[in-house]
């Protein structure tokens, strides 16, 4: 990118058509990189890198054609750089595969029939500047412990990356469940921390109820406290998700995200989804929560 300005000026002086093609190729590459700027909603992963690489390759070819006399040297230099980057990317994918297999093997040791949840597993292998290079489990935790990827079937629900006390709603809502977390390069059983903050009363829907997201909402009573931010936390077989919500007085009502729930049921068949409400104070500490509850989609 540091040489983009000089190259563009050179091409504009020598060959306007090649300059326009070169600009088109870089726009193509930058458009493919755009998802990495929106990681909370759009996962940046290999499919975008492929497109970005195609755009950069086109830009290199158009630049080489425009420079003509320097084309052989530029081609050799780009080949060397490309080989160096390829080695690094292949190494990242190998690391991602090994990490995914370690997580899979750990979850396969869960006792069959146990209601199980997993959190803090890595979504990507990241570069030194925290750019996601190779996807691990941004999606696919449920799939990885079901056929055809394994002979066994283990019901493991992915949670958002929740540390420490933030996982208590799961254990309080499902006392017999098991929660696993990725810590220190291995999957291990979660150990509950100290005393819990204030607990919110769930007003609806009832645990295990059939829910119509077009009509029903998650509803909890909010007792007095230093609460400044509230979140609806959801766990489906696709992934965990977090949504900011705003209370109305001493009652909080949160819409259940119909699109995610319907997609989960279409992909995996009708099943249970889980939710709870979490509150934080002005400093970001958990100040209260409801117990996790399960529901199914009506119909």
State the pLDDT at residue 196.
77
The separation between CA 13 and the C-alpha centre of its own chain, rounded to angstroms, equals 46
What CA–CA distances, in Å, run from 81 to 23, 103, 147, 266?
21, 33, 40, 44
Strand arrangement of the beta sheet that strand 178-183 belongs to:
156-158, 116-119, 178-183, 186-189
Q: Which residues have a Cβ under 8 Å from the Cβ of 184 and sit 6 or more positions away?
A: none
Residues of the chain where predicted confidence (pLDDT) is lower than 70: 1-16, 38-46, 66-71, 74
At 256-286, the pLDDT tens digits run: 999 999 999 999 999 999 999 999 999 999 9
How confident is the model at residue 224, as a pLDDT? 92
CB atoms within 10 A of CB 58: 17
pLDDT tens sequence across 224-234: 999 999 999 99
Is the sign of the CA dihedral 237, 242, 243, 245 positive or negative? positive
List the one residue out of 242, 240, 244, 241 whose CA is nearest residue 227: 244
**pTM (whole model) above 0.75:** yes
Q: How far is CA 122 from CA 135, 184, 189, 193, in A?
A: 9, 11, 16, 22
- N- to C-terminal Cα separation, the chain: 54
Q: Which domains does the chain have, with CATH numbers?
A: 4-95 (no CATH), 197-297 (2.60.40.10)
């Amino acid at each position: 990118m540091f040489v983009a300005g000089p190259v563009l000026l050179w091409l504009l002086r020598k060959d306007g058509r090649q300059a326009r093609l070169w600009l088109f190729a870089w726009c193509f590459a930058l458009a493919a990189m755009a998802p990495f700027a929106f990681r909370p909603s759009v996962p940046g992963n290999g499919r975008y890198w492929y497109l970005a690489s195609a755009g950069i390759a086109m830009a290199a070819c158009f630049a080489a054609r425009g420079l003509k006399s320097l084309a052989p040297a530029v081609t050799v230099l780009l080949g060397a750089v490309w080989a160096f980057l390829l080695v690094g990317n292949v190494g990242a994918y190998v690391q991602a595969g090994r990490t995914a297999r370690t997580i899979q093997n750990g979850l396969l040791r869960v006792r069959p029939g146990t209601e199980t949840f997993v959190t803090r597993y890595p979504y990507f292998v990241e570069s030194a500047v925290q750019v996601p290079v190779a996807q691990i489990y941004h999606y696919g935790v449920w799939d990885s412990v079901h056929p055809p990827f394994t002979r066994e079937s283990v019901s493991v629900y992915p949670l958002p990356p929740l540390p420490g006390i933030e996982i208590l709603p799961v254990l309080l809502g499902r006392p017999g469940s098991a929660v696993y977390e990725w810590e220190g390069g291995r999957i291990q059983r979660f150990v509950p921390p100290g005393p819990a903050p204030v607990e919110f009363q769930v007003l609806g829907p009832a645990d295990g109820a059939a829910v119509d997201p077009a009509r029903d909402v998650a509803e909890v009573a909010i007792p007095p406290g230093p609460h400044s931010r509230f979140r609806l936390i959801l766990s489906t077989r696709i992934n965990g998700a977090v949504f900011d919500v705003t209370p109305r007085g001493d009652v909080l009502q949160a819409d259940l995200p119909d699109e995610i729930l319907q997609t989960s049921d279409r992909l995996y068949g009708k099943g249970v989804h889980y939710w709870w409400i979490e509150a934080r104070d002005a400093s970001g500490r958990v100040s209260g929560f409801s117990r996790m509850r399960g529901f199914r989609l009506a119909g």
